[in-house]
Structure 1
Amino acid sequence: MSTAPSRRSAGFTPTGTISTSGDRRRVVFATVVGTTVEWYDFFLYASAAGLVFGQLFFAPAGPGVAQILSFLTVGLSFLFRPLGAFLAGHLGDKYGRRVVLMITLILMGASTTLIGVLPTFDVIGVAAPVLLILLRVLQGISAGGEWGGAVLMAVEHAPKAKRSLFGAAPQLGVPLGLLLASGMLALMAVVAPGDAFLVWGWRVPFLLSFVLILIGYYVRRKVEESPVFLELAERKEKTRMPIVQLFRKHALLVLIAALVFAGNNAVGYMTTGGYIQRYATNPDGPVGLATADVLGAVTLSAVSWLVFTWIGGWIGDVIGRRATYLIGWAALLVGVFVLFPLVNTTSIGLLTLGLVVLTVGLGLTYGPQAALYAELFPASIRFSGVSISYALGAILGGAFAPTIAEALVKATGSTMSVTWYLAGMVVLGAVATLVLRDRSGIPLGPDHEAEQSVSPVRGLSKA
């Protein structure tokens, strides 16, 4: 390490940011492309779980139970996201953000492609759902490791005054992934309608992942390592056991940060988890809309989510992360209460309106998340901190949201129970946000580790 070039000679400024706008554009482009491919794969599974997996892999359990089992496999993968976050956090804090991003991209793409060629229950029996669950677990491990690396590459490369906007770049991969997944499924529902969709149409979007993974890999290879990590490596200040240090000093902060994301994630998984798709297209349900129409509506709402995520990132630099979140929570609460009344009208136009309204709050509470998380944790354990907080928040929020929604409707006969459940999660996220101090603009480099280690939790001076 003693022969490594200094950060000044390597083109880095003393504040830990890249000195050229061209490098920054490459980072933004690479994080958007990479996370889009990752979340396309992840959401494709969730949408297929709502549309076809219950019939193809779990049918012997009976119509109602088969669908619940299908949604449970969506949530099961979330239980393995902390494992991915632990592994990625350890590797990312010791060996760099870039290497983790390459590994997670390949793992996710390979798992998704294999799902596209997986035989169904009718062909190989119980081995079919077992293999499906195994591949979903690998997706969960990959998703748990992906997010932290992507957001830190974006935020740690960003100018201080634009961290929230730069951090919104990998966040855009989520609505873009949903848009791409829903769009491909909607296209295949038209190309291969009815039984053809069940036989082979659903497989095509999964097989497309192989091509997307090659594109994502090529783009990410062109990106330089995070300047903050290079600075740590040059000074030989990498932590030996970052996860141990994280939980020894910042356990409460991890929990509060997880609750912030849980509020957003529970609501978001009404569409990304496939619940609305299943509820609105179920021929035996109260809505009974065409699959292609509902997938089209979800695709349109993904565009709206994309726009408001970018707006949330931009506003986060203007008024601060915390204030942006609070506005977003208020908007999300409105969206939660109008969603099902509009869906239950059986009008595809009003269903689309309900989904679009929901995305206003989703975007405003997702756009500034990367900057908020990155500014909460010290440089030496930042990858572990943001990754594990995100993974735990996903478990507490979206992991079993579709399963809970399905069970609530079956138990009560009304979607109002789902509305109150989602509203409770939004309030929980808002309270967690209020507990945190806004640390917008705090220096991110290792020179300021002492300042970063002061707890952002109100009422505490140290973590």
Structure 2
Amino acid sequence: MAGANSVPRAVRRAAIASLVGSALEWYDFFLYGTAAALVFNTLFFPTFDPLVGTIAAFGTNAAGFLARPLGGVVFGHFGDRVGRKSVLVVTLMVMGVATFLIGVMPTYGTVGLWAPVLLLALRVVQGIAAGGEWGGGVLIVSEHAPADRRGFYSAWSQTGVGLGFVLSASMYWLIQAMTTKESFLAWGWRIPFMAGILLTVVGLLIRLRVMETPAYQEASAAAPKKAKLPALEALRTQPKAVLTTFGARIAENGASYLFLTFSLSYAAKIGMNGNTVLVAVVVGMAFESFAMPLWGALSDRVGRRPVYLGGAIGMILWAYPFFLMFDSRNTVAVFVAVFVAVVICHGAMIGTQPAFITELFTDSRVRYSGVALGHELGSVVAGGFSPIIATALLAWAGASWPIVLFLIGMGLITVVAVALAPETKPKSLHEGRTPQMAEASAGAGRAA
């Protein structure tokens, strides 16, 4: 009875720790994307045309995404060999320090070309930390949760991602509201970055209290000899899971950065008030953050694939109305456009994603590496380059129709990937034992 009562408590503690830690870590990561759209183009790339400066700023933003697979491989390696908890503590520390340094670094007007170089270097460090964060944050919950409620519990890790965006955008909105435009560009933009170090300390205190996951402990006990190179082992033994994860990410991640980051630049291009769009995005993400566990719970009932496919198809259908409603420059229409795109279309995918991707990987010994590798490769292709591609398409066509086609293309890739994937609900994360693990368990039983 004591063991039975402790399970829900452990699951809740893991969910809270993942939510809070993810919120703080992704607060740091998203700060950069918002700053790239609002201030970095003038502070770090002032010699360019404004639109070209925006592309350059988004280029440094993309560098963080290019570094994410490296972070996924490195931290996934240690997450599979040392444990999920220890790695999550390190990723949060690395992200917090890099974010603080961005807040205190000099701009182009002070040190010239060294400013964008230093900015790029710190963004790469952020990317490495983010690449190791997502997989561990998801697994620390998914590997604690009961199979029949994994969709609900693991989605709270995604709620942390959403709240991190809300927190970062809200900080920018608050600082902008309290300062003049000149003061904001001079020093106001730095405050959210420097505040990140205090939030990091809070996240560390919470994460240090979480227990290691039962699935990892069982795998370690059954097969004490760890995989030498977990990422290569995952590619060798579960290539379909890696490819499915990659494909599932294209629409979800690519669309999110168009809806949440590029939309700010698009609004400025068509003459809309940037604060209106920023508030719409923050409100949409706030609603989505708490809709994610509901989508996860729905996937516990009807399956992962139907919910995920529904979100991807919805995104395809909403691509044209989204920009049409922006082009109307009507505040209510913009709020509706963002709400449907973010809460319904994107929410269905990202809320289902943690359980779906976790369950694709059946071997606990390499699950962290496999999840991180597929997830972060998708981030590079979709999230890292989608704002740059969209901005370039806008500069080329002067209209939104090429961006609509771009969104539809990403949606179709995800629809195919998920449609070809197996249904994974419900699946015990203790089932996927390798022959070596099974033999070790049998030997232990005979010895007993």
**Do both share a fold (TM > 0.5)?**
yes
Runs of 4+ in 1 over 6 A off after TM superposition: none
Partner of 1:185: 172
Structure 1 residue aligned with 2:108, among 121, 130, 143?
121
* Aligned residue number for residue 338 of structure 2: 355
1:202 to 180, 184, 189: 189
Whether 2:243 is the aligned partner of 1:255: answer yes
Amino acid in the other structure paired with 1:196: S
Instruction: Tell me how far 1:225 sits from its aligned partner.
Output: 0.5
Contact residue 309 and residue 362 of structure 1 kept, 8 A: no
Aligned to 1:458: none
Contact 1:336-1:422 at 8 Å conserved across structures: yes
1:213 matched residue in structure 2: 200
Aligned to 2:162: 175
Partner Cα separation in structure 2 for residue 172 and residue 409 of structure 1: 31
Q: After superposition, what is the alpha-carbon deviation per residue over 1:114-157, rounded to whole angstroms, capped at 9, x for unaligned?
A: 11111110011111111100010001000100011110110000
**Partner of residue 441, structure 2:** none
Q: How does 1:58-137 map to 2 (within 5 A)?
A: 58-137=45-124
Does structure 1 conserve the Cα–Cα contact (< 8 Å) formed by 2:364 and 2:432? no
Give, in whole Å, the separation in 1 of the partners of 2:82 and 2:71. Answer: 15
1 CA distance for matches of 2:355 and 2:225?
23
How high is the TM-score relative to the length of structure 2? Answer: 0.93
- Over the matched positions of the two proteins, sequence identity in percent amounts to 35
What is the aligned partner in structure 2 of residue 372 from structure 1?
Answer: 356
| 1:241-277 Cα deviation digits (max 9, x unpaired) | 21221122223431222011111111001144x2111
Contact 1:53 1:70 in 2 (8 A): yes
Question: Aligned pair 1:301/2:284, yes or no?
Answer: yes
Structure 2 residue matching 1:437: 3-state secondary structure: coil
One-letter code aligned to 1:240: K
Query: Of 24, 32, 39, which aligns to 1:45?
Result: 32
In the other structure, the counterpart of 1:393 is: 378
- Which residue number corresponds to residue 18 of structure 2? 31
Corresponding residue for residue 287 of structure 1: 271
Residue of structure 2 equivalent to 1:224? 211
Could you give the per-residue CA deviations for residues 72-125 of structure 1, whole angstroms, max 9, x where no partner exists? 111111111010000011101100000110010011111111111111100111
The corresponding residue for 1:5 is: none
> Which position in structure 2 is the counterpart of 1:3?
none
Partner of 2:446: none
Check the 8 A contact 1:332/1:361 in 2, yes or no: yes
Verify the 8 A CA contact 2:88 2:137 in the aligned structure 1: yes
1:223 partner SS? coil
1:269 to 231, 254, 257: 257
Mapped contact 1:89–1:384 kept (Cα < 8 A): yes
Q: How far off is 1:446 after superposition? A: 6.1
Rounded to whole Å, the distance in 2 between the matches of 1:305 and 1:171 is 10
Unpaired stretches in structure 1, ≥5 consecutive residues:
1-7, 454-463
Aligned residues: 434
Query: TM-score if structure 1 supplies the norm length?
Result: 0.90
Q: How far apart are residue 440 of structure 1 and its match?
A: 1.1
Aligned-pair CA distance for 1:374: 1.0
Displacement of 1:331: 2.1
Gaps of 5+ in 2: 439-448
**Offset at residue 447 of structure 1 (A):** 6.5
- Partners of 1:449 and 1:336 in 2: CA distance: 43
Correspondence for 2:411 among 426, 436, 448: 426
AA partner of residue 405 (structure 2)? W
Aligned counterpart, 1:456:
none
When the two chains are superposed, the root-mean-square deviation of aligned CA atoms in Å is 1.8
What is the match of residue 445 of structure 2? none
**Secondary structure of the corresponding residue to residue 106 of structure 2:** coil
1 or 2, which has the higher helix percentage?
Answer: 2
The CA deviation at 1:193 is: 2.9
What SS does structure 1 have at the residue aligned with 2:258? coil
Amino acid at match of 2:332: G
Q: Secondary structure at the match of 2:360?
A: coil
Q: After alignment, is 246-255 or 208-217 more displaced?
A: 246-255
Matches of 1:447 and 1:69, distance apart in 2: 45
Q: How far apart, in 1, do the equivalents of 2:88 and 2:79 lie?
A: 9
Aligned residue type for 1:368 = T
- Which letter does structure 2 place at the counterpart of 1:259? G
Q: Aligned partners of 1:389 and 1:447: how far apart in 2? A: 18
Q: Distance in 2 between matches of 1:25 and 1:159?
A: 11
Q: Counterparts of 1:93 and 1:212 in 2: how far apart (Å)?
A: 27
Q: 1:445 deviation in Å?
A: 1.6
Q: Please give the alpha-carbon distance, in whole angstroms, between the structure 2 residues aligned to 1:391 and 1:227.
A: 25
